[in-house]
Amino acid sequence: MIREKSLKIIPLGGLGEVGRNMTLLEYNEAVLIIDMGLKMPEEDTPGIDYIVPNINYLSSLNKQSNGWRNRKQKNILGIVFTHGHYDHIGAIPYLIEKIWSPSLQFFASPLTRGIILKRQEEFPEHPQLKINEIKHGSIIELGPFRIEFFRQNHNIPDNFGLFIETPIGNILHTSDFKFDLNPVNELPTDFQKLRTLSEKKILLLMSDSTGAEENGHSLSEKTIEKNLEEIFQRSSGRIIAATFASLINRIQQIIFLSEKYGRKVIIEGYSIKNNMEMAEKLGRIKSKKGTIIKGKEIENYPDSKITILCTGAQGENQAVLMRLAQKRHARLRLKSGDSIILSSSVIPGNERTVQALKDAILRQGVKVFHYKMMDIHAGGHAQEQELKEMIKITKPKFFIPIHGQYSMLVAHAEIARDTGMPEKNIVIIENGQIIDLTPKTIFIKRTKVPSNYVMVDGLGVGDVGEVVLRDRHMLARDGMFVIVAVVDKQSGKVIGSPDVISRGFIYLRESKQLLKETRQQVIKIVDQAVTSGGTINWIYVKDEMRNKIGQFFYSKTKRRPMILPVVIEV
């Protein structure tokens, strides 16, 4: 019996987490990549800049001993990008060299293309990317895949869902989306297009789950604009609006309201300036002549006529708003009468940082408006009511919830069951698992591909692993203690008193008795470890110092600092 051919669906990121979105579709060794995003660091990844997907499966780094055939770059047909948020495009500079070839094709909307290319300017050593522009209704063919792009509302313009025709059936990938009948700066959801696509029979729906745990319907951008206007009406001082640099629609709203109430707009922040410049060229942001002024012109206008647009609503340390809150900004200072708008929800994991930011601002007598006080931010993700509607419109045979923490995926699966989908046709998967899809069946294979975190730290990509993170946690928790012992290589005896250096463990001046006992312990350990007349194993000696001094410190302090023994032979 000839086995029916199947399509593999392999998420490398974005499932069981928020961010790092990247999914592979593979048919007969031909691979299509959807998105290539990053994830912001968390509290348990100290010192890390970004987290990106593991693409060993694609970059021919897997050995046959791991159970995988080496992948050749020519099998990767192309990369399609749904929209311009960094959790969907941000990993490109860190991964693209591993899979790039002259034949690799890229497809993105004009705005997404502009954001990608602008960022690539920061990496001049990388290959130049030639990105094909697509628009609503564009159709491309890549090997066995025929992809149609269709407009979806989000909180950034030029966001597209994907209708993918494959040899085993049609797949609809929603991208991040919400149903907004009154959006700002873009057209409303094209429900007729969704119904037309559903008439082609959708084998599998892959749908955004980020808002699956929220009841009801997401807020319209028009509602947000109305509430923002209330702040403009009330404020007699400067308005400082902080949002994501990629939230083009919100930036446009702030500019429009500033013009309506006779305010000049100052743009502060590298990323937001870059996005503004690029979006203006594409006609995605419009302003009247003279509305945008330079920061140094602020003294020419009363406070009631000034709006400052900046980044930093998530409490990022080097962002403009945090520098203002901590009085570190080169030119600007907060003052009583200012009104600060935090026009973004808090990304999970940033709660304490954002709280500290708000407290620092409020201590300076400044008003703070945030989404918990009034509806001044709308997430770009469909909630329960919209997710049900998407399933009912598209009528898929199979369903996979994508984009979200595991609890979000589970909540979305429950929503699908509520619409009447059979349990056996709903599959919850996580990063690295392989879905095997045929016209009649869907199941998770036993084998997995690597999908662990790849961490970006400065110029290093992937050179910080679990061992390094463990050491950083240890240093943060209990500090470090360095012991320097000078030893006579003939006798094996310690010369003089060992030097000690403490960082984050104890304050040396206040711990003289502990240091005296520590030095005595070091001398004793070296004496016991060294046998006269034979070759001295200094590796063994240092291991003994590390282990026994560690036990000694724990008995005295109940702390376990990282101990670094240094032995100098003379």
Q: Would you list the domain boundaries of the chain?
A: 7-216+379-458, 221-370, 466-569
Whole-number pLDDT of residue 73 = 57
The residues, ordered by sequence, that sit 6+ positions from 92 with a Cβ below 8 Å of its Cβ are 36, 116, 119, 120, 129
pLDDT over 70 for what percent of the chain? 87
Whole-number pLDDT of residue 422 = 96
Residue 64: pLDDT band (50, 70, 90) is very low
7-216+379-458 to CATH, choices 3.20.20.60, 3.50.30.30, 3.50.50.60, 3.60.15.10: 3.60.15.10
The single residue of 83, 173, 381, 403 carrying the catalytic annotation is 381
Residue 388: pLDDT band (50, 70, 90) is very high
Which is it for strands 76-80 and 30-34: parallel, antiparallel or unpaired? parallel
Judge whether residue 468 has pLDDT over 80: no
Judge whether residue 36 has pLDDT over 80: yes
Whole-number pLDDT of residue 221 = 73
Whole-number pLDDT of residue 554 = 83
Enclosing H/E stretch for 239: strand 239-242
Q: Which two tokens stand for residue 8?
A: 């593999």
CA distance 208 to 267: 32
Angle, vertex CA 303, rays to CA 302 and CA 307, nearest 5: 120
Q: Which of 39-43, 181-185, 276-280, 455-459 has the lowest mean pLDDT?
A: 455-459
Q: Return the higher-pLDDT residue of 492 and 75.
A: 75
Q: Which of 138-142, 224-228, 458-462 has the lowest mean pLDDT?
A: 458-462
Judge whether residue 291 has pLDDT over 50: yes
Q: Return the higher-pLDDT residue of 465 and 315.
A: 315
Whole-number pLDDT of residue 256 = 93
Q: Which of 105-119, 216-230, 293-307 has the lowest mean pLDDT?
A: 216-230
Most confident residue range from 205-214, 491-500, 518-527, 549-558: 205-214
Whole-number pLDDT of residue 453 = 87
Note if 208 is an active site residue: yes
Whole-number pLDDT of residue 374 = 43
Residue 405: pLDDT band (50, 70, 90) is very high
Average pLDDT of every residue of the chain: 85
Q: Which of 110-119, 335-344, 422-431 has the lowest mean pLDDT?
A: 335-344
- What count of Cα atoms within 13 Å lies in the side-chain half-sphere of residue 301? 22
DSSP single-letter state for residue 153: B
Judge whether residue 406 has pLDDT over 50: yes
Residue 70: pLDDT band (50, 70, 90) is very low
CA distance 390 to 193: 12
What is the rounded radius of gyration, in angstroms, for the C-alpha atoms of the chain? 29
Judge whether residue 373 has pLDDT over 50: no
Judge whether residue 102 has pLDDT over 90: no
Burial environment of residue 220 by CB neighbours within 10 A (0 to 12, 13 to 18, 19 or more)? buried
Whole-number pLDDT of residue 493 = 82
Whole-number pLDDT of residue 316 = 77
CA distance 124 to 169: 41
Note if 381 is an active site residue: yes
The single residue of 208, 338, 403, 412 carrying the catalytic annotation is 208
Tell which residue, 327, 336, 325, 342, has the closest CA to residue 241: 342
CATH of span 466-569: 3.10.20.580
Residue 66: pLDDT band (50, 70, 90) is very low
**Contact assessment for residue 142 and residue 167, using Cβ atoms and an 8 Å cutoff:** no
CATH architecture of 221-370: 3-Layer(aba) Sandwich (3.40)
Q: How many residues would you count in the chain?
A: 570
Residue 257: pLDDT band (50, 70, 90) is very high
> Mean pLDDT over residues 149-153, rounded?
95
* Sheet with 398-402: strands ordered across: 139-142, 145-151, 160-166, 169-173, 204-208, 398-402
Judge whether residue 122 has pLDDT over 70: yes
CA distance 67 to 410: 30
User: How much helix, strand and coil, in percent to the nearest 5, is found in the chain?
Assistant: 30, 25, 45
Whole-number pLDDT of residue 400 = 98
Enclosing H/E stretch for 32: strand 30-34
> Mean pLDDT over residues 35-53, rounded?
78
Q: Which two tokens stand for residue 254?
A: 């702030």
pTM: 0.79
